Amino acid sequence: MDRIIMDRYEQWTKLAVLDADVARELEDMAGDEGRIEDAFYRCLAFGTGGLRGVIGAGTNRMNVYTVAKASQGLSRYVIDHFPEGKRSIAVSYDSRVKSDLFSRVAASVFAHNGIHVYIYPQLMPTPCLSWAVRSLGCSAGIMVTASHNPSQYNGYKVYGSDGCQITTEAASAILRRIEETDEFSVTIPDYDACTAEGQIEYISEDVYTGFIEAVKAQSVLFGDRADRDVDIVYSPLNGTGLKPILRALSESGFTRVTVVREQEAPDGLFPTCPYPNPEIREAMALGIEYCRRTGADLLLATDPDCDRCGIAVKDEQGEYTLLTGNETGLLIFDYICSQRVAHGRMPKDPVLVKTIVTTDLAEKIACSYGVTTVNVLTGFKYIGEKIGQLEAQGHAESYICGFEESYGYLTGSHVRDKDAVNAAFMICEMFAFYKARGISLVQKLGELYSRFGYCLNTLHSYQFEGSQGMAKMASIMNGLRGPIPSIGGLKVEKVTDYLAGADGLPASDVLKFALSGGTTLVARPSGTEPKLKLYLSVSAPDKESAQALEAKLTDDMSARMSR
């Protein structure tokens, strides 16, 4: 094994004494070269998504030392870019294992660097962090979360003073400061002492209330009737969404909400859904069981940091149908547009912002309402960045909606990240609006397909673990950049390679294939997980034809992945 890796391991065995769990794991991996290499072959990657990794011992793991090192780097960045007396960082955390510990460690490091810290007194969603950064005028913010990843993961999202996840430029500058730091040289003072001295301040209830009011202000009913007498089942998937979502709904007249008891309390082990992601059918299974038991009209579920929202609704046979992120986004967007047009509330130059992997059907709907579609790279931070640009240009009111296929939605500019509290509120309002008119969401979706054509959108992920996984993904992407005349029997009409930047977007390791018949395929390595992702948007006369074509495309691409 590489001597440098072994030296790192031996250093950690001597110095990593702050967390007993880390010390025990280091002792347990003694003599296991494979475990040692995987834990120490690199430092946990830091980018625009911050840090994310498996909780454990080592430089390639989430632990108090990697968190302290990142926090020291962020502290130096804030000191570099903000004057003394104007330096502050907001902190929030979710229900994951050690999230509370990591947030206290980070806050203590910030305080030691003379940066005032605002921290929520209890776990709060990602959008509440974005709101706090803007509301309190902070220099930056962090959210300790691994979003929808399995329970063994945790992470550390970094936000700029605009409440948006950091840009590539900021991430690079912070990374330079992190790389200058030795994890065992970082001073981590006592959290309680910092709090007692006023260096760490708890975020007030008024700030939280302001967020709830901002969510409710996104309503587009404009006085129209809505049937709020609906039975709703809600699951926070053992995360942060319970308090804000129940409050926003109850204050808006939705009082018949049943919470999935087994998934109600915060629990980082996620005992009933090992993969706490509302995109995954298994995570929604218990909620659907509750719906069948109670006869509920609607199921809502949010991921642990409450920035993603999934739903299920009754179909014409009385069965519960899970809607995809694309389908829910289309419904929300069409509802907003139709209401704004009906009430003369459409801004002069309305804008929809979506990612390049989000359904192509959105552009057709936008065009029908005279809305301009702006496509951005994958990641809601780019949607947040676009909102900021519109605001800087004096066109903040032009933004009416943004969404991405991975169950992220935002209908206002109150925060600069996807907001599942906002999404849950808008979904319930939309549902109540259509219910008052005898229309189900399944029927409304069918109407959109009838008007604009059927479009099947799917996502396939290919896992590549360990130190060899990154090299394998790079090899596959290089292979896809070679001449490919057809995929799944469809002619490749155009290939857009974003690696050097394209369509005015920043450089990113993404390939988009435009195929004959209006179908598109996007390939990209995940920025937060050891996965290569394929996004298909298949246009066809009907669902059955689209499914058959999608199967051919997937088989072809899967074969390319295994070569």
Residue 528 pLDDT greater than 70, yes or no:
no
40 falls within a domain:
no
Helix orientation angle between 420-435 and 325-342, rounded to the nearest 10 degrees: 60
Beta-ladder partners of 200: 117
- Dihedral angle of Cα 451, 366, 527, 485, to the nearest 10 degrees: 60
**Please, are residues 71 and 101 in contact by the beta-carbon 8 Å criterion?**
no
Instruction: Give pLDDT tens digits for 370-420.
Output: 999 999 998 899 999 999 999 999 999 999 999 999 999 999 999 999 999
Please state, in angstroms and rounded to a whole number, the distance separating the CA atoms of residues 484 and 563: 15
**Please, are residues 182 and 66 in contact by the beta-carbon 8 Å criterion?**
no
Q: State the catalytic residue, choosing from 99, 147, 161, 508.
A: 147
Region for residue 249 given its phi and psi (left: phi exceeds 0; alpha: psi -120 to 50; beta: otherwise): alpha
Confidence (pLDDT) at 530: 79
Q: Strand 200-202 to strand 298-302: parallel, antiparallel, or no bridges (unpaired)?
A: unpaired
Domain count for the chain: 4
Is 51 found in the same domain as 197? yes
Rounded to two decimals, what is the model's pTM? 0.94
Confidence (pLDDT) at 443: 96
Residue type at position 181:
T
Please state, in angstroms and rounded to a whole number, the distance separating the CA atoms of residues 278 and 273: 10
Please state, in angstroms and rounded to a whole number, the distance separating the CA atoms of residues 470 and 513: 22
23 falls within a domain:
no
Read out DSSP for 317-372?
Answer: TS-EEEEPHHHHHHHHHHHHHHHHHHTT---SS-EEEEETTS-THHHHHHHHTTPE
210 falls within a domain:
no
Is 536 found in the same domain as 466? yes
Confidence (pLDDT) at 506: 86
Helix orientation angle between 205-216 and 242-250, rounded to the nearest 10 degrees: 50
Is 461 found in the same domain as 338? no
Please state, in angstroms and rounded to a whole number, the distance separating the CA atoms of residues 464 and 267: 28
Q: Among residues 190, 205, 220, which one ends one of the domains?
A: 205
431 falls within a domain:
no
Please state, in angstroms and rounded to a whole number, the distance separating the CA atoms of residues 417 and 380: 6
DSSP type of residue 427:
H
Instruction: For residue 508, give its domain range.
Output: 455-562
**Please, are residues 506 and 27 in contact by the beta-carbon 8 Å criterion?**
no
Residue 458 pLDDT greater than 70, yes or no:
yes
pLDDT higher at 471 or 528: 471
Residue 466 pLDDT greater than 80, yes or no:
no
Is 337 found in the same domain as 287? no
Tokens of 227: 């049937």
494 falls within a domain:
yes
Q: What is the mean pLDDT of the chain?
A: 95
426 falls within a domain:
no
Confidence (pLDDT) at 356: 94
Is 362 found in the same domain as 317? no
Confidence label for 435 from pLDDT (cuts 50, 70 and 90): very high
Please state, in angstroms and rounded to a whole number, the distance separating the CA atoms of residues 69 and 230: 49
Is 201 found in the same domain as 69? yes
Q: What do you get for the CA distance between the two ends of the chain, in Å?
A: 28
CATH label of the domain that carries residue 485: 3.30.310.50
Q: Among residues 173, 205, 237, which one ends one of the domains?
A: 205
370 falls within a domain:
yes
Instruction: Give pLDDT tens digits for 123-172.
Output: 999 999 999 999 999 999 999 999 989 999 999 999 999 999 998 899 99
DSSP type of residue 500:
G
Please state, in angstroms and rounded to a whole number, the distance separating the CA atoms of residues 320 and 312: 6
Residues 6+ apart with CB under 8 A from 89: 74, 78, 110, 115, 116, 117, 118, 138, 139, 140, 141, 142
430 falls within a domain:
no
* pLDDT-wise least confident of 59-68, 83-92, 363-372, 536-545: 536-545
Give the residue among 233, 241, 224 at the shortest CA–CA distance from 257: 233
Is 280 found in the same domain as 347? no
**Please, are residues 407 and 386 in contact by the beta-carbon 8 Å criterion?**
no
Q: Among residues 323, 345, 369, which one ends one of the domains?
A: 323
Is 356 found in the same domain as 306? no
Is 475 found in the same domain as 411? no
CATH label of the domain that carries residue 83: 3.40.120.10
Is 471 found in the same domain as 335? no
Is 145 found in the same domain as 63? yes
Q: Is 130 a catalytic residue?
A: no
Q: Strand 408-410 to strand 399-404: parallel, antiparallel, or no bridges (unpaired)?
A: antiparallel
Residues 6+ apart with CB under 8 A from 201: 116, 117, 118, 119, 195
What is the Cα gyration radius of the chain? 24
Is 140 found in the same domain as 102? yes
